[in-house]
């Protein structure tokens, strides 16, 4: 297998996930839409995003279950159709139900199909670099909201602020890109051979079926660890603007927006950074560093709130993004390392269901603030989550995936 073919797949996969990450951009896309639905409350509009995340997980799981029967070409074509129809329905929406169906159900499912397909195919071209290639691909997915937001703003300016036209154009681009993915992506003809590294030398776990994986202690310990890391990240991300205002009331809106953007940038960098760490040091050291980074972010944020220090606030936001970015990369690399390649399309998507409970962390952070009138209670909970995450790392034991071991 030529190395150039692997690079081509890495570039194509990153571009596909960059646009599939549109589901994270609802907060930007929904701003002009809300003007056409003045009677819809904020929570009812936000339900669109919640549905997109739920169906993203459902779509990915469905794609994984279908991977043995449907080729990746068919799965990518299905993603193209779902995105095209979903954006089309959203652009013609006359009520919230059509928004829920178009963006929430169809676009969310389409994103799940493309995400699962790319993440199960492209890493096979880099068997000795599972961490770093997962980090690169996931950086594209995480940056999707920033890119889509810029493209969306450009379409709005070109078409007199018509969000409906912008959605139709985005739908066309999304469908075309997924169709191109169906043409470009293919399974490797044979296993790519690379120089052995630490992970390859230690890779001794057997292929585990989803049923066996779900009965293993390592799965549930790691699944809970992922939830804790996501809770820390999403809580601070969701409250980044009010946290900045509460720390330094004199900050301008532009500065606050810039600080919030730092988290997104470091989120992408963290995915690559911890992917490289995984390839060099293994899963335990990587998980420990992610947990320690999350704890440091909470501790420095506490200092920022006490002292109203802008430097402390910036450092805490940088660390938050880096730690949160490590979670998705570990989800991919850990699942393949512990449970093998054979059932990875399904096992990976089951592991990704940690997003569902973690998605309520922003609501929890807001609730704690409403009850206490300060963010110190929220930060205290996040510090406890970080400490517990460190503890869980030492409970996970590496062993072959056999029924006699679980």
Residue 222 inside a domain? The answer is: yes
Please say whether the beta carbons of 80 and 194 come within 8 A: no
| Residue 222 and residue 279 share a domain | yes
| Residue 104 and residue 38 share a domain | yes
pLDDT tier at 401, thresholds 50, 70, 90:
low
| Residue 216 and residue 357 share a domain | yes
Q: What is the CATH number of the domain that holds 25?
A: 1.20.1250.20
Token pair for 405:
């071991």
| Residue 127 and residue 51 share a domain | yes
| Residue 175 and residue 275 share a domain | no
CA distances from 113 to 67, 135, 204 (A): 10, 19, 30
Condensed to tens digits (0 to 9), the pLDDT of residues 314-353 reads: 898 899 889 988 988 898 889 988 998 888 888 988 998 8
Condensed to tens digits (0 to 9), the pLDDT of residues 29-68 reads: 777 887 777 776 666 777 787 788 889 888 988 988 888 7
| Residue 345 and residue 254 share a domain | yes
CA distances from 281 to 56, 275, 354 (A): 31, 10, 25
| Residue 334 and residue 218 share a domain | yes
| Residue 150 and residue 48 share a domain | yes
Query: What is the domain range of residue 145?
Result: 3-184
Please say whether the beta carbons of 181 and 16 come within 8 A: yes
At residue 254, the pLDDT reads: 67
Name the least confident of 237-241, 274-278, 291-295, 303-307.
237-241
| Residue 151 and residue 51 share a domain | yes
Residue 193 inside a domain? The answer is: no
Identify the domain boundary among 151, 184, 217: 184
Residue 147 inside a domain? The answer is: yes
Residue 71 inside a domain? The answer is: yes
In the block, residue with structure tokens 């191109």: 180
Helices assigned H by DSSP within 92-216: 96-99, 108-121, 130-142, 144-158, 163-184, 198-202, 210-214
What is the rounded CA–CA span in Å between residue 304 and residue 294?
15
Token pair for 328:
């998705």
Condensed to tens digits (0 to 9), the pLDDT of residues 126-164 reads: 877 777 888 888 888 877 767 777 777 788 777 666 888
Name the least confident of 3-12, 97-106, 193-202.
193-202
Q: Is the C-alpha dihedral spanning 390, 391, 394, 396 positive or negative?
A: negative
| Residue 222 and residue 144 share a domain | no
At residue 101, the pLDDT reads: 94
Q: How many domains does the chain have?
A: 2
Residue 22 inside a domain? The answer is: yes
Check pLDDT > 70 for residue 201: no
At residue 198, the pLDDT reads: 40
| Residue 123 and residue 77 share a domain | yes
Residue 117 inside a domain? The answer is: yes
Residue 116 inside a domain? The answer is: yes
Identify the domain boundary among 184, 218, 245: 184
Residue 196 inside a domain? The answer is: no
In the block, residue with structure tokens 């992922």: 226
Q: What is the mean pLDDT of the chain?
A: 82
At residue 204, the pLDDT reads: 44
More confident residue, 11 or 25: 11
| Residue 357 and residue 270 share a domain | yes
């Amino acid at each position: 297998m030529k190395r150039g073919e692997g690079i081509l797949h890495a570039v194509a996969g990153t571009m596909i996930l960059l646009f599939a990450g549109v589901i994270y951009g609802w907060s930007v896309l929904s701003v002009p839409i809300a003007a056409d639905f003045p009677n819809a409350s904020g929570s009812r509009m936000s339900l669109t995003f919640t549905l997109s995340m739920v169906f993203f997980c459902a779509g990915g799981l469905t794609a994984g279950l279908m991977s043995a029967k449907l080729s990746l070409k068919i799965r990518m074509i299905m993603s193209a159709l779902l995105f095209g129809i979903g954006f089309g329905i959203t652009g013609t929406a006359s009520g919230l139900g059509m928004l829920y169906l178009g963006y929430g159900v169809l676009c969310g499912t389409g994103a799940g199909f493309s995400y699962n397909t790319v993440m199960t195919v492209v890493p096979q071209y880099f068997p000795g670099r599972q961490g770093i290639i997962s980090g690169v691909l996931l950086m594209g997915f995480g940056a999707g909201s920033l890119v889509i937001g810029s493209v969306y703003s450009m379409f709005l300016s070109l078409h007199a602020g018509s969000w409906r036209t912008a959605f139709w154009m985005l739908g066309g681009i999304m469908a075309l890109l997924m169709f191109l993915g169906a043409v470009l992506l293919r399974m490797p003809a044979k296993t790519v051979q690379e120089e052995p590294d630490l992970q390859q030398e230690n890779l001794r776990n057997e292929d585990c079926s989803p049923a066996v994986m779900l009965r293993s202690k390592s799965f549930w310990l790691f699944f809970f660890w992922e939830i804790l890391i996501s809770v820390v990240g999403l809580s601070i991300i969701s409250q980044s603007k009010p946290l900045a205002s509460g720390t330094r009331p004199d900050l301008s809106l532009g500065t606050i927006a810039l600080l919030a953007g730092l988290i997104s940038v470091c989120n992408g960098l963290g995915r690559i950074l911890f992917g490289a760490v995984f390839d060099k040091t293994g899963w335990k050291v990587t998980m420990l560093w992610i947990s320690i980074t999350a704890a440091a972010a909470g501790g420095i944020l506490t200092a920022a709130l006490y002292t109203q220090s802008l430097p402390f606030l910036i450092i805490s936001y940088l660390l938050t993004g880096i730690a949160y970015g490590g979670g998705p990369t570990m989800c991919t690399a850990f699942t393949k390392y512990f449970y093998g390649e054979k059932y990875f399309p399904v096992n990976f998507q089951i592991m990704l269901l940690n997003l569902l409970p973690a998605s309520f962390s922003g609501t929890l952070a807001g609730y704690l603030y409403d009850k206490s009138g300060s963010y110190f209670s929220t930060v205290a909970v996040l510090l406890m989550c970080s400490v517990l995450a460190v503890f869980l790392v030492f409970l996970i034991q590496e062993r072959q995936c056999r029924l006699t071991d679980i």
